Chains A and B, each alone.
Chain A
């Protein structure tokens, strides 16, 4: 596609439920990043993929968070046993190669009730 696509744009769930957030990067981009933006804060790094592998997952807050990119294109961020503190906008970005300009999606607004 023309840009980074994230679905859904909004997700409302209940505490304790499992959610999946999807990111479709720009075609051909090998580097993919997930960020989380809490209300009133700047985006915070979660995880970086180069191709299919997670090259840096140091930003994942705990083991309830997991992300995959099985074919080196689409990525899914998975959150188990959601908590109210997980409510935030989850942003995905991609770049042609590591270190090149990042293109951001519009994000998924996750609300945990």
Chain B
């Protein structure tokens, strides 16, 4: 079956530090990969996605590259801000069925201090 493993948190950083949150996956098919973010008190929001090998998803300064050879989709940002404090979820979607049921990792909490 499909599964997603991401690094445990919390990740605590100072403002302007470099961020990496590791994510690896196991999938039977050829999945699409996603990062979702959950800000305090809000619903899950799609942050970025990649649909095929070597694709790079990017949004709001965050990036992640679909690495099929290492089955990874690590999230990076060059300079974090306090407003980036949230829980980040790596997820995959196997579209073989024609619709997207997401398989999520456990989430990684990011805390950024001024």
Contact = CB atoms under 8 A, between A and B. Distances in A.
Interface of A: 3-4, 31, 33, 35, 40-45, 48, 50, 55-56, 59, 91, 93, 95, 98-102, 104-107
A31 B99 contact: yes
Nearest to A93: B44
A41 B97 CA distance: 25
Name the residue among A42, A45, A55, A107 with the largest chain B CB count within 10 angstroms: A42
Contact of A107 (B43, B89, B103): B43
A23 to B, nearest CB: 12
Contacts, number: 56
B4 A99 contact: no
A45 B103 contact: yes
B41 A43 contact: no
A56 B99 contact: yes
Interface of B: 4, 41-46, 89, 91, 95, 97-107
Contacts of A44: 104
B43 A104 contact: yes
B98 A43 contact: no
B49 to A, nearest CB: 8
B102 A50 contact: no
B45 A104 contact: yes
A42 B106 contact: yes
B24 to A, nearest CB: 14
A41 B42 CA distance: 17
A3 B4 CA distance: 27
Contact of B98 (A91, A93, A98): A98
B97 A43 contact: no
Contacts of B100: 95, 98-100, 102
Contact of B42 (A35, A93, A106): A106
A103 B44 CA distance: 8
A91 B44 contact: yes
Given A4-B43, A91-B44, A106-B42, A43 B99 contact: no
29 contacts: A4-B43, A31-B99, A35-B102, A40-B106, A41-B106, A42-B89, A42-B104, A43-B44, A43-B89, A43-B102, A43-B104, A45-B101, A48-B101, A55-B99, A56-B97, A56-B99, A91-B43, A95-B100, A98-B99, A98-B100, A99-B98, A99-B100, A102-B46, A102-B100, A102-B102, A104-B45, A105-B43, A106-B42, A107-B43
